[in-house]
Chains A and B, each alone.
Chain A
Amino acid sequence: MSSNSQPTLNTDFCGMTFNSPIVLLSGCVGFGEEYTRVNGFSNRDVGAVCLKGTTQDARLGNQPHRVYETPQGMLNAIGLQNPGVDHVVNQILPNLDFTETRFIANVSGSSVEEYYEVTRRFDDSPIDAIEINISCPNVKEGGVAFGNDPVMSARVVETCRKATDKPLITKLSPNQTDIASNAKGCIEAGSDAFSVINTLMGMAIDIESRMPIIGNNQGGLSGPAIKPVALLKVHQVYQVCKTHQIPIIGQGGITTAEDALEFIIAGASAVGIGTALFYDPLVCKSINTGITDYLKSHQLSSVDQLVGTLQMNQSQPSKCGC
């Protein structure tokens, strides 16, 4: 790259062209339009927008409180409140502006059949790709119960694969022992890509009432507090993905361009922004600028050249951190 040419943020992800490696994360931006309330915000600044987790029938979700601030992060237990897949496909998708960005559905269910049915409905819609959420910690059935079981994970992926030819992204849970071997099973079952990671399970207690603050008792932890965990999981999943050319949307606590670059170096082709928007709704603009500046100063012409370029220390890591 000549020293004065501008690097590009355009990234190919499963055959889709992303304007930027940034993906807005499921559950943080409603059904794609909510943040357009904010003056200066544009979906054009991001490569893709993941819609809220969607199930076959409408769900009311959990009782309040659903969100709570914790050190450097937050807990949430929304409980997959959504209007059901028919409403999303018939009422919401027709009002999204697909010239601005790529829109990705986020599919959930309490049974393998429900995952199949919701995926099938989205397959017959203008949605660009489908993310299977087998890692939601906030519902009693399905979700993380599937994602923590490698056999069930692969079954869900295999079933959804039969329902669509659109890019299929599996969202992996950090709440499991061996995320890399689960990823391997999902690749064999037909996953085209991964989202790594969903939230970690957590709790907060009101010491006066001696009750959990979150209505659902427990919730998913997100934000900067989980970044180091997420980064290691991306690195681990990348070891499996790199030989299969399977891309990863790295996520968990990214708030700055430097955070995003760490995830890309660890093996993520795209980076997810969720909780950081709650603090700064215009954060994507500064992350784009920061990534561009880094590429320029390191004489790289695109993000692809940086993906998975992590140089490990020579010493063999021991399994325990003590």
Chain B
Amino acid sequence: MTKPHHNSVFLEEAEIISHQAFDGDQFIMRLLAPHCAAKAKPGSFVHLTCDPQLPMRRPISIMRSSYNEGWIELLYKRVGRGTTLLAQRQRGEKISILGPIGTPFKATPGQSRPLLIGGGVGMPPMIFLAESMRQESDKQPFVILGSEVPFPFKPTPSKILIPGIPEGVIASMPLLDDWGIGNRLASQQEFSGCFQGYVTELAQLWFRNLDRETRSQVEIFACGPHPMLEAVAAMASEWQVPCQVSLEEFMACGIGGCAGCVVEVQTADGPAMKRVCVDGPVFEAASVFN
């Protein structure tokens, strides 16, 4: 009796091929994990062992993956005991990863104007999703990244013009710009070239500039802190466009076995407790925020 979910997740001893520290306690780690890299999708995460002395794994989203070179890349922030130990791991060492896990983002055919919003360490799935849209000629995505600490890359002036965006708001993520994907940065801090304010305020300026026809082709994807997702969900319902969000909750198994990671969602049959690890992490915003 083989079922679709069988053997979809791999346990790998992944070698750290690079590990870079950035301001604001942020780190980018590239791991050699060919099985996981081959199957990863935007929204997938890995459940990893930060250090053998900890009894539990930690969930971290996949930011990029290379099928050909067999690596995955993660962006994480040092916040507690697990990520502190993870930050100490050196190039050449191996860490145990379980992945790729989770129901990924699903772009709707015909919604040609995707809006991707990533806040803080919610940026990784948005970058993965943007990269996957590069190949799709019928999609014209716009990405907004927000951060209250310096961005984990060197912002550069964008070469791509985005109607509706104030003059002077030109800072962009070079990788996205190189891919030809329009993107802008937002922060409450006074970062040069960034929009000073919330990601949703910048998104509103973009929305208002679209004609009705174009607006109906928008679909929002978001990942970030809970209050940001709540504001994004409210904006989606204001403009009546579909919206998917990626959620976080404390996890134990990370594989659907313990029901430890649930969030309450509304279904046709009433409220239900859904597992973030396998039913999510991506959910319809309207089922979570209402």
Contacts and interface: CB of A to CB of B under 8 A. Distances in A.
A28 B258 contact: yes
A223 B260 contact: no
Contact of B258 (A27, A33, A95): A27
Interface in A178-223: 223
Given A36-B5, A282-B11, A28 B55 contact: no
Interface in A228-256: none
A113 B261 CA distance: 31
Contacts of A37: 5-9, 101, 255-256, 278
A208 to B, nearest CB: 12
Contacts of A132: none
Given A36-B6, A39-B11, A39-B35, A81 B262 contact: yes
A296 interface: no
Contacts of A66: 250, 259-262
Contact of B3 (A33, A74, A81): A33
A224 B272 CA distance: 32
Contact of A277 (B1, B7, B253, B259): B253
Contacts of B264: 60, 63
Given A73-B55, A74-B55, A76-B252, A67 B257 contact: no
B265 to A, nearest CB: 11
Contacts of B49: 279
B11 A38 contact: yes
* Interface band, chain B: 35 or more
Contact of B254 (A29, A52, A73, A278): A278
Contacts of A81: 259, 262, 273
A97 interface: yes
B259 A61 contact: yes
Interface string B87-103: 00000000010100100
A30 B57 contact: no
Contacts of B254: 278
B54 interface: yes
A281 interface: yes
Q: Most chain-B CB neighbours within 10 Å: which of A37, A74, A78? A: A37
A67 B258 contact: yes
Contact of B55 (A39, A65, A69): A69
Contacts of A277: 253, 257
A317 interface: no
Interface residues of A, number: 39
Contacts of A36: 3, 5-7
Contacts of B11: 38-40, 280-282
A35 interface: yes
A275 interface: yes
A68 interface: yes
| Listed residue (B1, B5, B35, B261) with the most chain A CB atoms within 10 angstroms of its CB | B1
B259 A278 contact: no
Contact of B56 (A52, A60, A279, A281): A279
Contacts of A78: 258-260
B10 to A, nearest CB: 5
Contacts of A60: 264, 271-273
Given A39-B35, A64-B250, A97-B1, A30 B257 contact: yes
Contacts of B250: 64-68
A278 B49 CA distance: 10
A52 B259 contact: yes
A318 B55 CA distance: 33
Given A36-B6, A74-B55, A74-B56, A278 B263 contact: no
B223 to A, nearest CB: 18
A249 to B, nearest CB: 18
For A40, A66, A74, A282, the residue with the greatest tally of chain B CB atoms inside 10 Å of its CB is A66
A111 interface: no
A72 interface: yes
A279 B57 contact: yes
B257 A64 contact: no
Interface string B204-220: 00000000000000000
A314 to B, nearest CB: 36
13 contacts: A36-B6, A37-B255, A39-B7, A39-B11, A61-B259, A61-B273, A65-B250, A69-B54, A74-B55, A81-B259, A280-B96, A281-B11, A281-B255
When A and B form their complex, which 8 residue pairs have the shortest distance between CB atoms, in order from nearest? A67-B260, A34-B256, A34-B257, A67-B252, A69-B56, A39-B7, A29-B257, A65-B250
Interface of B: 1, 3, 5-11, 35, 49, 54-57, 82, 96, 98, 101, 249-264, 271-273, 278
